[in-house]
Structure 1
Amino acid sequence: MQGHKLFQIFTGKFNVLKTPYMVTGSVASIVYGEPRLTHDIDIVITIPVSLIEKFQHSFPKDEFYFPPVEVLKNEILRDNRGHCNIIHNSSGFKADIYFAGNNDFQHWALENVRNIDFRGEAMLIAPVEYVITKKLEFYKEGKAQKHIKDIKSMLENSREIINFDLLNKFITKFGLVEEWKLCN
């Protein structure tokens, strides 16, 4: 199965459910930057506890590993950093699902997603300013050079759509000025 079709295995379900979501992480950096290998897709969603079972039923047990409902409830109710994994059994492709919780930055990003056509498939992508900011945070935490490389690629390929005033506001707010200097 082609890579972009693997993305659709997950994003297509969210489109049908009309669950607010956004693709972020390496897949978003591929969209805004340049292609590279990835083994998963990162998706931020907001979903009420009342829809957990409907959410679970859209990923059939014979096709997907899906966490138990109780685990989902606990993760959705976390104020910050709630998450779970959903795995497509036949391909082994994984979606890292992050629940927005009370994270204002994620809610801002969800309100400002870009609806794109990615190789013929509809996909909601996090704003480039969000993706760059999160990549800077991840670099600060773990010093993985791939994040700096992804940011430089996004700056090179998507400069015309980046709101640098807004991006600089986020960089300052989250204490990422030193990390940002590595990207320029």
Structure 2
Amino acid sequence: MPEADLIELFAKPLAELGIPYLITGSVAATLYGEPRATHDIDLVVTLRSQDAGRIERAFPASRFYVPPEEVIELEARRSERGHFNIIHTESGLKADVFLAGRDALHAWAFENARSYAISGFRASVAPPEYVIVRKLEFYREGRSEKHLRDIRSMLAVSGAELDREALLDWIRRRNLGAEWAEAERGVE
């Protein structure tokens, strides 16, 4: 299972060092919806600029490409949209690391995280409402249909379990009504 490999390679080292993280993106969408192939994992991480060296400890240069500590520090100083990649050099598998910053949606996701037993440890996974909102944002930015497919799959499989009030509140706050209507049109 490629998702288990991604979780083992990228989420487990963060957990072992006590770095707060959430699994999100297509890997999380697969947990709440139907499986689909992916070669990367999206993680939201809480990291202060002075903690950038912890990333290098979690992902040693002998096995991973990690941006220079200065780059991670710069990204961690952003109040929003901080981002960097980590690549497992042997397999080419990649983690897109998004930094929580001061974004209220990220804070809400950490407060409402789910825990799943995956790859021999308890993995922290973003709540489905967060995953949907972020996929709507990514859809708005790039118009990639894969985001709508993931959302529709999540609605079909886990729709009854969603906190609709929280979901619709975040959709309103992020001005994603048009994208949400488009996603809902394709749900059977």
TM-score, normalized by the shorter chain, greater than 0.5: yes
Q: Give TM-score, length-normalised by structure 1.
A: 0.94
Residue 54 of structure 1 deviates from its aligned partner by 2.6
- What CA distance in whole angstroms lies between the structure 1 residues aligned with 2:39 and 2:70? 27
Residue 17 of structure 1 deviates from its aligned partner by 1.1
**Correspondence 1:67 to 2:73:** no
- What CA distance in whole angstroms lies between the structure 2 residues aligned with 1:151 and 1:2? 20
Matching residue of 1:78: 78
Matching residue of 1:178: 178
Matching residue of 2:57: 57
- What CA distance in whole angstroms lies between the structure 1 residues aligned with 2:127 and 2:3? 22
Q: Where do 1:11-26 residues align within 5 Å? A: 11-26=11-26
Q: Give TM-score, length-normalised by structure 2.
A: 0.92
Runs of 5+ unmatched residues, structure 1: none
Q: Where do 1:88-167 residues align within 5 Å? A: 88-118=88-118, 120-167=120-167
Residue 50 of structure 1 deviates from its aligned partner by 2.6
Residue identity matched to 2:96: D
Residue 120 of structure 1 deviates from its aligned partner by 4.5
Residue identity matched to 1:162: L
- What CA distance in whole angstroms lies between the structure 2 residues aligned with 1:115 and 1:39? 22
Residue 64 of structure 1 deviates from its aligned partner by 0.5
Residues 116-157 of structure 1: CA deviation (Å, up to 9, x unaligned): 123644211111111111111111122111111111100011
Give the percent of matched residue pairs that are identical in Structure 1 and Structure 2: 43
Deviating more after overlay: 117-126 vs 38-47: 117-126
- What CA distance in whole angstroms lies between the structure 2 residues aligned with 1:104 and 1:153? 26
- What CA distance in whole angstroms lies between the structure 2 residues aligned with 1:65 and 1:145? 30
Indicate the SS of the match to 1:182.
helix
- What CA distance in whole angstroms lies between the structure 2 residues aligned with 1:32 and 1:140? 21
Deviating more after overlay: 70-79 vs 170-179: 170-179
Alignment RMSD, CA only? Answer: 1.5
Q: Aligned pairs, how many? A: 184
Residue identity matched to 1:67: P
Deviating more after overlay: 117-126 vs 27-36: 117-126
Residue identity matched to 1:27: V
Residue 112 of structure 1 deviates from its aligned partner by 1.3
